[in-house]
Each structure stands twice: as structure tokens, then as C-alpha cells.
Amino acid sequence: MKIEILGMGCPKCKALHERTINALAELDVAADVEKVEQPAEIAKYPILMTPALVVDGKVKAYGRVPGTEEIAKLIREEM
């Protein structure tokens, strides 16, 4: 499983990354988590705002920081 956190490194982007790591730990799931900070790479996704959570190429949330439980649910949907 590949998870991408899209954003320029703002506090919300960092919070999304941390919550995603916590959700993976709660689920006991291994995944490659990558921060995507380059504007050209972010622009490849159909999002209007960052931060964004992308799981296996699918945008699951953007423009906000979901809670750890919601992130876990979004990850489970792709398992």
C-alpha cells in the first residue's frame, strides 16, 4: 500500500502525516508513506486545497485534516 501526503510542509500537512502514521499503527498495517511537497507533483491530483491524503493513487481527503479514526477508515476501504 502506498500513501501520499500532499502539501507544502505546513502545520496541517505535518498533522495529517502524523495522524496517518498513527492510524497505520492502530490498524497494524505496513505502508509506504511519502510526503509530496513539489507543486508540479501536487498539481497532478484533482484537489483544490492541501493537505490531501492519497491512498494507492486515490484521493481520499483534501483541504482538511481528518481525525485518526477517519483516516483508519479511509485506509481500510482500500485494503
User: Beta strand pairing status for 58-62 and 52-55?
Assistant: antiparallel
Q: What pLDDT digit, counting tens, does each position of 15-55 carry?
A: 999 999 999 999 999 999 999 999 999 999 999 999 999 99
Q: What is the CATH number of domain 2-77?
A: 3.40.30.10
Number of C-beta neighbours around residue 75 at 10 A: 22
pLDDT of residue 33: 97
Q: What pLDDT digit, counting tens, does each position of 49-79 carry?
A: 999 999 999 999 999 999 999 999 999 999 9
Domain extents in the chain = 2-77
- Residue 14 phi, psi dihedral angles, 5° rounding: -65, -40
Measure CA of the first residue to CA of the last residue in the chain; give whole Å: 8
Spatial CB neighbours of 49, under 8 Å, sequence gap ≥ 6: 62, 63
Q: Confirm if 60 and 1 have CB atoms less than 8 A apart.
A: no
